[in-house]
Homo-oligomer: A and B are copies of this chain.
Amino acid sequence: MKRKFLLLSFFVFYLSFSSYCQSVNWREIYPGVWKGVVGKPDVYNLLNAADVQPSSALQKLQKATFPLNNSSIVVEVKNGKTYLRFPLERNEQLYGFGLNFQTVHQRGRIMQLHVDHYGKSDNGRTHAPTPFYISSLGYGVFVNSAKYIDVYAGSSVRKDSKNPPEVQDRNTDDTWSAHPYSDAVEMLVPAEGIEMYVFAGPKPVNVIERFNLLGGGGCLPPRWGLGFTQRVNRLYTDAQVKAEAKAFSDKGFPLDFIGLEPGWQSKSYPCTFEWDKTRFPDPEKFVKEMDEVGVKINLWTNPYVSPDAEIYSKIKPFTGSHTVWNGIVPDLSMPEARKILFDQFEKEHVKIGVSGYKIDEVDGFDSYVWPDVATFPSGHTAEQMRQTYGLLVQKYSYEMFRKNNRRTYSLVRGSNAGGSSFPYVIYNDNYSHEDFITALINSGYAGVLWTPEVRASKTSEEWLRRFQTVCFSPMAMINAWASSTQPWTFPEVAEQVKEVAQLRMRMMPYWYSTFAKYHYEGTPPFRGMSLEEGFGSDLTKEKTTANLEENPYEEATSKEVKDQYMAGEYLLVAPMFTGQTSRKVILPKGKWYDFYNGNFVGDGQVITITPGLAKIPVFVKEGGIIPMMPPLLHAPKAGEKVDLEIRVYGKKPAVSRLYDDDGETFAYEKDQYSWRDLIVEEKNGVLKGHISEPESGKPNSIGRIKWHFITKSIK
């Protein structure tokens, strides 16, 4: 007995110190959402840094079966690290792994997911390196770790693989591949255990919806966030800012909020967070006067505290060991640090009416954040702080606005999984228009928002093309902190620019319902084509050079598509880049119509278009119902009613939903919102539309409605 006990003790002792490999015990925590824990995961992770309650909508989702073969999922903890393996099928494509700028198809790629300012390649270093991937087969995997994660997304080949690749001789085989077939996603997490989530579909977009809902649902911006925004030169005074707003107004340009750059602070890099007395002698009066002309204020900042800041000595004990640009770094994982910093922000900015922030430099580059050798008083490592700092600044700055019952729509340069409910849009210092579109596509897979902001441009063509793009993105913004540009800076295209800005405003009801769907249902507002029903070829059919050559649609959809995207439920946007006069557009199966005139353009085919300079190509799917308002200069306020033009595309009956709430406060969280049905029916061969009745006691911002059946003919 004693011997058996000793043997058992030894065995247990041995087990606890050796590596172990186990089948994961998945627990279904919501319909279609499973959680698995192996080993001893880090206590601190992405979800608890974001600290958001999952959306109650998760409970109401469709039931599903576990979408992977669990016996092929292998998790091993050894030598202080966790080794993960998830199986892949042939012809399965992967999406996600964060805000990539040059690739959409992720299968075969190698990355280390690491918060940073994006560099020049999709190596995992990016503003939101979300450890979440979506399979074309309709499932997703999320690894909830705040460490740097090495990812081999179907690139690594095990010698005992049950799906070994074909061995080829490079000497003489022209078809030799430098990338032999890999049947698994493998990951390495430097921790002694891991917490993971698997999401069911059935469709890939449903996977993302579940993921976003786990993070509390997508964000719901205020209406004014979806209008137009300008950022001014960094050293503007209050008078200059007011003059800028007046110029917009005089020229009939929409403007909802203006962004002030570093010079609003008495000092920056590092920051005091206090208004400069010469440039802004009376900030409260300034913010109020701006609000009276319908323009809200957004403030640039980074988190690095200047020795000259009022809060410096108070916050110093709760900051990291290293400085960034001579500023100390608040350990925002500590309540004490958050209180000192955000009490100050609330007092100086939010309480006087400031509407939001642009939170800079919480990502990288490496010399622009704390080094990995830094330590923090919370005990969290520099690596953990790097991976979560964006989440923390969003979470706790957002809290200020929630406390004051005023929504915000802000900007941030770093985020991660768990942050989809934070109303912050990512931006960066790069400027490739093509890369910006790819990022917009990937934002949908990553659970974040991205804006392809407009800055200085070399030509009027470039200016207009970028402007057109940004008006079909989460935040329509010119960022002129360095260049002092305005929408009319290029007179040759000033009229077209104004038209697009007005179109942005007119489409506000559509954008607003789109974001409501993001919030309540988790559907990403801006998405890659792979998430669109009807896009893509039959994955079960083998692709040969012959059949690809014969079928341009098959051929086009077999490659990654980086230059067109879905915006909201119905719109396909195919931006034009500088120098292009015509381009190809891949239309998914089903009928598609020109947004501007309702004409039928194609169905499951590749078309070539020559849109002219004044238009950004936009197409609407069959049954598209687009609610639009007049081209106001500012978003409607709470309680204000607007008339709607409701456009219907195609010639068939259709249904859609229009979201409504006060557009400014958090009353919607107490049920003060409604979804109105927009119904198009055919009566005696004629289409007619009507809207469901408003719910009594709920906000109703809808004035008169005019139905516009824009498609005259389907030929």
CA distance A710 to B373 in the complex (A): 56
A322 touches B165 (CB 8 A): no
Contact with B along A267-301 (1 / 0, CB 8 A): 11110000010000000000000000000000000
A83/B306 in contact, CB under 8 A: no
Please measure, in the bound complex, the distance between the C-alpha atom of A371 and the C-alpha atom of B460, giving whole angstroms: 47
Q: How far apart are A317's CB and chain B's nearest CB, in angstroms?
A: 11
- State which residues 146-203 of A face B: CB under 8 Å: 150, 152, 155-160, 164-165, 167-172, 176, 178-180, 186-188, 190
- Write out the residue numbers on chain B whose beta carbons fall within 8 Å of the beta carbon of A373: 83, 85, 150, 152, 156, 186-188
Residue of B nearest to A320 (CB): B159
A117: min CB distance to chain B, Å = 13
Q: Are A262 and B171 neighbours in the complex by a CB distance under 8 Å?
A: yes
| CB of A712 closer than 8 Å to a CB of B | no
Is B150's CB under 8 angstroms from A326's CB?
no
Complex-state Cα separation, A267 to B168, whole angstroms = 8
Q: B171 to A372, Cβ gap below 8 A? A: no
Q: Which residues of B contact A235 (CB under 8 A)?
A: 171-172
Closest B residue, CB atoms, query A19: B375
Set of chain B residues within 8 Å of A698, measured between Cβ atoms: none
Nearest CB in chain B: distance from A154 CB, A: 11
In the assembled complex, which residues on chain B have CB atoms less than 8 Å from the CB atom of A186? 371, 373
- Is A110 positioned at the interface, with any CB of B under 8 Å from its CB? yes
Partner of A263, one of B80, B171, B179: B171
| Set of chain B residues within 8 Å of A120, measured between Cβ atoms | 120
**By the criterion CB–CB under 8 Å, are B366 and A169 in contact?**
no
Specify which of B155, B180, B366, B374 is in contact with A110 (CB 8 Å cutoff): B366
Known: A110-B366, A371-B186, A373-B188. A262 touches B323 (CB 8 A): no
B-side contacts of A307, CB under 8 Å: 167
Interchain CB contact under 8 A, A158 and B262: no
Contact A269 B188 (CB under 8 A): no
Most buried by B among A108, A170, A270, A324: A170
In Å, the complex CA distance between A188 and B383 comes to: 11
Chain B neighbourhood of A263, CB < 8 A: 171
Query: B170, B180, B324: which contacts A323 (Cβ < 8 A)?
Result: B180
| Known contacts A150-B372, A269-B170, A371-B110: A157-B326 contact under CB 8 Å | yes
Least distance between A495 CB and chain B CB atoms (Å): 36
A321 to B85, CA, bound (A): 13
Interchain CB contact (< 8 A) of A168 among B79, B190, B326: B326
- For A227-256 the 0/1 string (1 means CB < 8 A from B) is 000000011000000000000000000000
Query: Chain A 337-380 against B: per-residue CB contact (8 Å), 1 yes, 0 no?
Result: 00000000000000000000000000000111011111100000
In the complex where A167-B307, A171-B267, A265-B171 touch, is A325 in contact with B178 (Cβ < 8 A)? yes
A276 contact set on B, CB distance < 8 A: 171
- CA of A108 to CA of B367, assembled, Å: 9
Say whether A268 contacts B170, CB under 8 Å.
Answer: yes
Q: Is A328 an interface residue (CB 8 A)?
A: yes
With A150-B372, A186-B373 already in contact, the answer to whether A321 and B158 are too (CB < 8 A) is: yes
A387 to B78, CA, bound (A): 19
A74 to nearest B CB, angstroms?
A: 10
* Count of interface residues, chain A, beta-carbon cutoff 8 Å: 65
Which B residues are in CB contact (< 8 Å) with A180? Answer: 323, 325-326
**Could you tell me the distance in whole angstroms from the C-beta of A223 to the nearest C-beta in chain B?**
33
State whether A270 touches B371 (Cβ < 8 A): no
A381 interface residue (CB < 8 Å to B): yes
Could you mark each residue 74-90 of chain A with 1 if its beta carbon is under 8 Å from any beta carbon of chain B, else 0?
00001110010100000
B371 touches A169 (CB 8 A): no
Are B326 and A167 in contact, CB atoms less than 8 angstroms apart? yes
Most chain B CB within a 10 A radius of its CB, from A120, A186, A235, A269: A269
* A319 at interface, CB cutoff 8 A: yes
| CB-defined contacts of A157 to chain B, threshold 8 Å | 322-324, 326
Contacts of A159 in B (CB 8 A): 316, 319-323, 328
Interface string of A198-240 (1 = CB under 8 A from B): 0000000000000000000000000000000000001100000
Q: Give the one of A80, A188, A267, A326 with max B CB within 10 A.
A: A326
Min CB gap A691→B, angstroms: 52
B234 engages A152 (CB within 8 Å): no
> Do the beta carbons of B326 and A269 come within 8 Å of each other?
no
Determine which of B79, B152, B381 lies in contact with A371 in the assembled complex, contact meaning CB atoms within 8 Å: B152
- List 29 contacting pairs A-B, 8 Å CB cutoff, sorted by A: A78-B375, A79-B381, A80-B80, A110-B367, A110-B371, A150-B373, A152-B371, A156-B322, A156-B370, A157-B323, A157-B326, A158-B322, A158-B323, A159-B319, A159-B328, A164-B326, A167-B270, A167-B306, A167-B307, A167-B308, A169-B267, A169-B268, A170-B262, A170-B269, A171-B235, A171-B276, A180-B325, A187-B373, A188-B371
Interface residues, chain A, CB within 8 Å of chain B?
A: 78-80, 83, 85, 108, 110, 120, 150, 152, 155-160, 164-165, 167-172, 176, 178-180, 186-188, 190, 234-235, 262-263, 265, 267-270, 276, 306-308, 316, 319-326, 328, 366-368, 370-375, 381
Closest 8 CB pairs of A and B: A170-B269, A156-B371, A169-B267, A167-B326, A186-B373, A110-B366, A152-B371, A157-B323
Taking A150-B371, A168-B326 as known contacts, 15 extra A-B pairs with beta carbons closer than 8 A to each other, sorted by chain A number, are A79-B381, A80-B80, A83-B375, A155-B366, A155-B367, A156-B371, A156-B373, A159-B328, A164-B326, A165-B326, A167-B270, A169-B268, A171-B267, A176-B269, A180-B323
